[in-house]
Amino acid sequence: MLLGLGGLVLGVPPTGRAAGAAVPPLHTSLPLRLPRDHGAHPAWRTEWWYLTGWLGRGAQPLDDPAPWGFQLTFFRRRGPAPADHPSRFAARQILSAHAALTPPGGPGLRHAEAVARSGFGAAEAAEDDTRVHLRDWRLLRVVAPGRPVEGPGHHYLAEWSAGGMRARLRCESTQPVLFQGERGWSRKGPDPEQASLYLSEPQLQVHGELQVDGRRHTLSGRAWLDHEWSEALLHPEAVGWDWAGINLHDGGALTVFRLRRADGSTLWAGGSHRPAGATEARAFAPGELRFHPGRLWRSPASGARYPVTWTIESPAGRHTLRARLDAQELDGRASTGAVYWEGLSDLFEAGGRPVGRGYLEMTGYAAALKL
């Protein structure tokens, strides 16, 4: 997931570095340390924890022909107030969150958002591990007693309640953390400063409960968690991006993304493939990926036209990525300043066999994205 925070958060325009903030330069030798780097990095401008997945019924939920899709994302933005500002009300950090459900077979996406400045117990993001909450929405990493702080043996608790939706999910780790790019340093453009630090946890085993309009559903499935932070992402020519994180049915993980110019051409591309059973991922170079848009869907709300089918060529093969539902556009202008498309999608090999399921995100189609 690449979505950052726009300039509409609480009416605060984009700012430069807050006074007193010490931001380490982005480079390949910047060490990542776990579990600390599961936590927040308040000196950096933008950060997010992004949980997506699908939920089905029965002993083999993958066989459910009508799964639910879900998304829970927490965004942290460094505010305009300096870190040493004396007022407790100063906007040092801004937290916002998005939650969405894709119902089985439609009719459309259910979406809610929230935003608050940090402090007073209403919104906080811990620095030592994943413990982030915004009012009664939360994402919490829990390590089982007697287990190492890293590797399989931890789980995430995810909860939100808004807009007729309520969710409580337990997401169990089954694989080591996936360090995207070069040991977690992920390029997002031709200039070195256009980069992020980027960790993923694919193939999370999910069990939980959804309540929608008063109806309860006990479900299980798979999820993907991204954690990413950066000082700057977008090259001046970039208007948005296309991204997908796919849990492969054989246990592997596929990440693909590209930064896109206004004419639709690719400015930069990247991603990774970690085969089933492997502990390391193969990072893709920009020239190794090709994105070919297919069928378009026009949003009646924004007028944007989104490719809801893609052909993607990568070192992992030639695949077709197809949205399970066209109408998965989110209007996040009240919290992150962006209208974007994000939804549950299926991956097919060249012969048409389904090989994976995950989330596709497309930004910059309704309007050029500004971070």
pLDDT on residue 332: 73
Is the pLDDT confidence value at 120 over 70?
yes
- Cα gap 52→132, rounded to integer Å: 16
pLDDT band per the 50, 70, 90 thresholds, residue 24: low
Is the pLDDT confidence value at 9 over 60?
no
pLDDT on residue 234: 82
Q: Which tokens belong to 186?
A: 């992920």
pLDDT digits (tens, 9 = 90+) for 68-113: 999 999 999 987 666 666 665 566 799 999 999 999 977 778 899 9
What does the pLDDT average to over 26-48? Answer: 85
- Cα gap 356→276, rounded to integer Å: 12
Is the pLDDT confidence value at 218 over 50?
yes
Q: Is 212 within 8 Å of 110 (Cβ atoms)?
A: yes
What does the pLDDT average to over 154-182? Answer: 95
pLDDT on residue 331: 82
Is the pLDDT confidence value at 278 over 70?
yes
pLDDT digits (tens, 9 = 90+) for 183-211: 999 999 998 888 999 999 999 999 999 99
pLDDT on residue 28: 57
Look up residue 19 and give its amino acid.
Answer: A
Q: Is 12 exposed, middle or buried (0-12, 13-18, 19+ CB in 10 A)?
A: middle
pLDDT on residue 17: 41
Q: By percentage, how much of the chain surpasses pLDDT 90? A: 66
What does the pLDDT average to over 275-290? Answer: 95
- Cα gap 74→80, rounded to integer Å: 19
Q: Which of 54-58, 102-106, 154-158, 174-178 has the lowest mean pLDDT?
A: 102-106
Is the pLDDT confidence value at 5 over 70?
no
pLDDT on residue 86: 60
Q: Which of 46-60, 107-121, 170-184, 253-267 has the lowest mean pLDDT?
A: 107-121
DSSP-assigned letters across all residues of 124-181? EE-SSSSEEEETTEEEEEEEPTTS-SSSSSEEEEEEEEETTEEEEEEEE--SPPEE-T
State the pTM of this model. Answer: 0.89
Q: By percentage, how much of the chain surpasses pLDDT 70? A: 86
- Cα gap 269→256, rounded to integer Å: 8
pLDDT band per the 50, 70, 90 thresholds, residue 20: very low
What does the pLDDT average to over 215-228? Answer: 96
> DSSP class of residue 182?
B
H helical segments located in the chain? none
| Residue 137: closest CA among 170, 114, 164, 163 | 114
pLDDT on residue 61: 84
**Domains, in order of start, for the chain:** 33-363 (2.40.370.10)
